């Protein structure tokens, strides 16, 4: 789309490895969802294959189809309602001007408070990403993006739109950052420097492979106002279990991605990593957040769903599910807790003698 002056606004961070189909299945976000919304806001139509083989289309190219918003229903359904075989997305025009800022802090709390204050002042950057010191150091060693290795945290912010508005927003963000004790606020000098900063952000997960044999990536969501206290709690949980927990995430919309570094060959480490991760996600919910922002529920978090939903909620979701996939032929055992739907299929799918294929 770029040669035509267009782009896909959600801008998934894992674009080198993810697919548009995966984005649709999980209703994925990305760095630029703060201003432009998540995947569902940019999908206008879908071609679907129902479990009985029927091919149907929902939505239209213009995104204004009458009737129920079935496109919105299927985006984020994690492959439990139908197979998606064609996707029509809305492309956006490239903005007139873009400015990318790197705000550097000697305190994680100061960086987190800056995020809270930026949005409280109704400044809406296109993107607002945060990397803590532990993460940015390993990223810098790997990518050489220009992140200061001696800082406690950085914010990578981007503003775009009309040239005059972009300049005003960039100045406002710098002022807020300085008010929260930013050591420095850098403005990318050109497109090459901008792309290098984003390369550092988008290759961060790969860089972490240099620190531990494996890692467990979380996907909790919290209100932005709870960001400072939640990061403190994550540090406390990591210290208690003896883990280094890296933080690199979409700070602007409160979508956290704590990364627990551990060795899966050590059974004790694996179990403690799961326990620490469960505590973090439960805390996210306790402060008014949610279980997932873009990675989905799958089987990993299905038993935590009752933290957010009542039996009546599950009954309604099950009725919607059964209208499309009554025999649980697609992704059995996903999303619903064991006792809340498709339980018999989920148990059966774990039996070695069961030869039915199971989507992953």
Same structural domain, 75 and 17: yes
223-263: pLDDT as tens digits: 999 999 999 999 999 999 999 899 999 998 899 999 999 99
Q: Are 308 and 290 in contact (CB under 8 A)?
A: yes
**Of 62, 93, 124, which residue sits at a domain end?**
93
* Residue at 332 is within a domain: no
Query: How many degrees, rounded to 5, is the angle at CA 261 between CA 149 and CA 203?
Result: 55
**Of 210, 229, 247, which residue sits at a domain end?**
210
* Residue at 276 is within a domain: yes
Asked whether the predicted pLDDT for residue 131 surpasses 80, the reply is yes
Total of domains in the chain: 3
* Alpha carbon distance 51, 21 (integer Å): 18
* Residue at 347 is within a domain: no
Q: Are 139 and 204 in contact (CB under 8 A)?
A: yes
- R_g of the chain computed on alpha carbons: 21
* Alpha carbon distance 259, 261 (integer Å): 6
Same structural domain, 195 and 108: yes
44-82: pLDDT as tens digits: 999 999 999 999 999 999 888 899 999 999 999 999 999
Same structural domain, 99 and 206: yes
- Find the domain containing 221 and state its range: 212-326
Same structural domain, 156 and 169: yes
**Of 42, 73, 93, which residue sits at a domain end?**
93
* Residue at 194 is within a domain: yes
Confidence band for 346, pLDDT divided at 50, 70 and 90: very low
Same structural domain, 9 and 87: yes
Same structural domain, 308 and 248: yes
- Report, as an integer, the average pLDDT of 322-337: 94
Confidence band for 340, pLDDT divided at 50, 70 and 90: low
Same structural domain, 132 and 86: no
CATH classification of the domain holding 52: 3.30.465.10
| Strand spans (E) along 141-239 | 153-161, 184-187, 214-217
Asked whether the predicted pLDDT for residue 348 surpasses 70, the reply is no
Same structural domain, 205 and 102: yes
Asked whether the predicted pLDDT for residue 355 surpasses 60, the reply is no
Q: Are 332 and 346 in contact (CB under 8 A)?
A: yes
Confidence band for 15, pLDDT divided at 50, 70 and 90: confident
pLDDT recorded at residue 207: 85
* Residue at 259 is within a domain: yes
pLDDT recorded at residue 357: 34
- Report, as an integer, the average pLDDT of 8-22: 87
């Amino acid at each position: 789309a770029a040669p035509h002056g267009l782009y896909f606004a959600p801008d998934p961070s894992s674009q080198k490895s993810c697919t548009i189909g995966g984005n649709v299945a999980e209703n994925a976000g990305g760095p630029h969802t703060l201003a432009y919304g998540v995947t569902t806001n940019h999908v206008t139509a879908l071609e679907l294959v129902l479990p009985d083989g029927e091919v149907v289309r929902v939505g239209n190219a213009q995104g204004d189809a009458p009737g129920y918003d079935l496109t919105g229903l299927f985006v984020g359904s994690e492959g439990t309602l139908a197979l998606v075989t064609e996707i029509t997305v809305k492309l956006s025009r490239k903005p007139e001007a873009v400015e990318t800022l790197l705000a550097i802090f000697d305190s994680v709390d100061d960086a987190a408070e800056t995020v809270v204050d930026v949005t409280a002042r109704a400044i809406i950057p296109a993107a607002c990403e945060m990397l803590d010191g532990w993460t940015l150091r390993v990223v810098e060693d790997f990518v050489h993006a220009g992140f200061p290795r001696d800082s406690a945290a950085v914010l990578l912010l981007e503003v775009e739109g009309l040239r005059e508005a972009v300049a005003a927003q960039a100045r406002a963000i710098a002022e807020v950052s300085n008010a929260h004790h930013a050591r420095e606020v850098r403005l990318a000098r050109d497109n090459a420097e901008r792309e290098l900063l984003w390369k550092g952000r988008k290759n961060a997960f790969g860089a972490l492979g240099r620190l531990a044999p494996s890692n467990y990536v979380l996907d909790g969501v919290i209100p932005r106002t709870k960001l400072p206290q939640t990061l403190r709690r994550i540090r406390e949980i990591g210290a208690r279990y003896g883990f280094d927990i890296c933080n690199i995430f979409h700070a602007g919309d409160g979508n956290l991605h704590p990364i627990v570094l551990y060795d899966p060959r050590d059974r004790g480490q694996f179990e403690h990593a799961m326990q620490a991760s469960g505590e973090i996600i439960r805390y996210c919910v306790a402060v008014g957040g949610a279980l997932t922002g873009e990675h989905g529920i799958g089987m990993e978090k299905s038993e935590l769903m009752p933290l957010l939903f009542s039996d009546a909620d599950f009954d309604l979701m099950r009725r919607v599910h059964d209208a499309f996939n009554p025999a649980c032929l697609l992704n059995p055992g996903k999303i619903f807790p064991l006792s809340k739907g498709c339980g018999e299929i989920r148990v059966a799918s774990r039996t070695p003698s069961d030869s039915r294929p199971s989507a992953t």
